[in-house]
Structure 1
Amino acid sequence: MSRFTELFMGMLGAAPKKPEKVSDGVREIMRLKYLDKEGYIKEKLHIRSHQSTSHKWRNRRWAVLLAVNLLFVFSFWLDIQILEGALTASRFVGFHLIDLNSALHVMLAHKHIIVNLFIGTFTVFLIWVLLGGRSFCSWVCPYHLVAELTEKLHLKLVEKKWVTDHEFHRGTRTVFWVLFALLSIVTGYTIFETLSPTGILSRALIYGPGLALGWVFLLLLFEIFWSRRAWCRYVCPIGLTYGVVGTLSPLQVAYRVEHCFHEGDCRKVCLVPHVLDVTIKGRASEDHMGLGPDCTRCGLCVDACPTGALRFEVKGLAKLL
């Protein structure tokens, strides 16, 4: 199975597997790493003792996410007409922008291709092809930010053993993607749009709160007391849609085996830890690998890595600052 196929199937819910073949480069790196075990351990302890907490990429991401959503708010309330509408469908200085997943469901509900929707999705399609992965989720989606904050409460409750984190099969997200698409076809309505916390929060910020916020509140309670980030991990079809679109993106979080001590700090903070399976000792097939389309490009793993084994890169260009 090719690396591309493996990553794509992983996005749909397949479990990561040990590589069938490991490159000579990886073999040589691992040999040199453990040739001097004592020196390796000393270096690891030295880095650990001098490690400082970084939130560089998290802060950049939060700033962008807040800026995008507040621009919607100010454009409406101040009537400056820069970014009109909401995340589902908007217009930026005259350019129509339509969420790909929403446009798909509308066309499935109407059972034909709507030219205006198709034109409106083209710009959005290009943006997320360039940025790749599930960048929309972590850099734009307001629910992602709210869930990220309440996740901290969930983890504290788990640490105190007041609640237990319940995991589901990641393939359930693919099932829900198909289910919501079929519901649009059968009912003629975009059922998902009435349930999507992304759209609900976006509209509530811009036009004012409504009863639909109660549904968002229930989702957050479920995630706090039962399952960590359940909506994003196991239900939301938006992430899967954008993951497919961003499969060939030049932007990626890249992993370098040479600089990794395989301690797993990155996997502890990751929303989709299966994309970091390559950081487990013996799981990398190449010495330099991209994390794939299911990565949200949130940068938490980059911030958490003390050695720079994980970093943002544009293929063929230097790492991002």
Structure 2
Amino acid sequence: MDKWNTRATIKNTSFLSTFFDKTKEGKSFFSYRMKRWIVVISIHLLFFLSFAIDIQTLEGTLNGSRILGFHLIDPFTTIQVFLATYHLPINVIIGTSTIIIFYLFVGGKSYCSWVCPYGIISEIGEKLHNTLVTKKIIKERKFDHRVRHIFWFMFIIMAFTSGYLVFETFNVVGILSRFIAYGWSLALGWVLIVFLLEVFFSRRAWCTYLCPIGTTYGYIGKVSALRVQWNDNCDHCMVCHDVCFENQVLDLTKAKYDKQREEKGIKTQYVTGADCTLCGRCIDVCHADALKFDFRLKGLV
């Protein structure tokens, strides 16, 4: 993908070409999409191998696992368990605390881009959806992204009132994670239904509107240290806004804020929205070098 000479973006170039970027000099290198996919596949390959050949490196699933003996527990799973059983074993507390501390540094919703296996499937669905929209076979349907908070509360209320982890019955992420680690399940049919919903009805519907796991990591990400940083090289082309998974977080790239920034002498700003997944797509397509990853606490070190 040559963003310098052809202004190529994720939307107007072939899917495979988005796995590589080019420098101004024309040299190819891995894009953030390629890096993310490698990380996601590697994580789940470890899950698979740990069960299949008992290498005991990364055991379990994304709901709860052990890496070299250390427990890791998904925070939303922990919330459900506590509300359903009114009890938390010490290993669950330790595992959840470890995950929260980790994502406070690397960005809460980075889980969605760099760990979640459905993220890869959803990106494929997104490409198919955009192609169908471009050809006017289907219409683009968008809803208020804040509806995810309603679903989040619904699922925890279900756990509290039923004494059962209701969400896990149709948790696409959990179903995929268990499939990778342990094998086939009829529940994969539900994953297919969600995928088709995203292809033919609403782009990335599960991730954007429904998934309480991502919403939970978003709450953590609100105060996380790793951020995308914007600078005033920006020419407000809004290509980054077009390709962003959660483009409301990139409102700061709009020209309407320039006067306010100029008055205050602001040359750089961090993307602070809780919904940023740190996927790097905005960086991949920015031809002005106006976006990069930055550790916002580095001044304290």
Under a length normalisation based on structure 1, what TM-score does the superposition of the two structures give? 0.81
Higher relative contact order (CA 8 A, sep 6+): 1
**CA gap 1:291/1:162 in 2 versus in 1, 3 angstroms:** same
Q: Residue 283 of structure 1: CA displacement?
A: 3.1
Range with greater deviation from structure 2 (48-57 or 146-155): 48-57
- Superposition pairs for residues 300-315 of structure 1, below 5 Å? 300-315=281-296
Counterpart in 1 of 2:32?
Answer: 57
Q: Residue 108 of structure 1: CA displacement?
A: 0.8
Counterpart in 1 of 2:126?
Answer: 151
Distance 1:88 1:133 in 2: 16
Distance 2:290 2:270 in 1: 11
- Superposition pairs for residues 274-293 of structure 1, below 5 Å? 274-283=248-257, 285=261, 286-292=266-272, 293=274
1:190 aligns with 2:170: no
Amino acid at match of 2:235: F
Report if the CA contact (8 A) 1:107-1:114 is conserved. Answer: no
> Of 119, 127, 144, which aligns to 1:169?
144
Aligned length: 271
- Superposition pairs for residues 1-321 of structure 1, below 5 Å? 49=5, 51=7, 54=21, 56-256=31-231, 258-283=232-257, 285=261, 286-292=266-272, 293-315=274-296, 317=298
Amino acid at match of 2:257: R
Q: What CA deviation, in whole Å up to 9, does each residue of 1:6-50 have, x standing for no partner?
A: xxxxxxxxxxxxxxxxxxxxxxxxxxxxxxxxxxxxxxxxx9646
Q: Which has the larger radius of gyration?
A: 1
Q: RMSD across aligned C-alpha pairs, in angstroms?
A: 1.7
Q: What secondary structure, in the 3-state scheme, does the structure 2 residue paired with 1:107 have? A: helix
Amino acid at match of 1:278: L
Q: What CA deviation, in whole Å up to 9, does each residue of 1:157-207 have, x standing for no partner?
A: 000000011111112100000000000000001111111111100101111
Under a length normalisation based on structure 2, what TM-score does the superposition of the two structures give? 0.86
Amino acid at match of 1:287: K
Higher helix share: 1
Q: What CA deviation, in whole Å up to 9, does each residue of 1:216-252 have, x standing for no partner?
A: 1000111100100011001111111111112222210
Q: What CA deviation, in whole Å up to 9, does each residue of 1:260-307 have, x standing for no partner?
A: 111111011111000011111113654311112210000000001001
- 5+ long unaligned stretches in structure 1: 1-46
Q: What secondary structure, in the 3-state scheme, does the structure 2 residue paired with 1:283 have? A: helix
Range with greater deviation from structure 2 (172-181 or 281-290): 281-290
Report if the CA contact (8 A) 1:172-1:234 is conserved. Answer: yes
Amino acid at match of 2:75: L
Report if the CA contact (8 A) 1:252-1:313 is conserved. Answer: yes
Distance 1:206 1:52 in 2: 37
Q: What secondary structure, in the 3-state scheme, does the structure 1 residue paired with 2:252 have? A: helix
Distance 2:160 2:215 in 1: 19
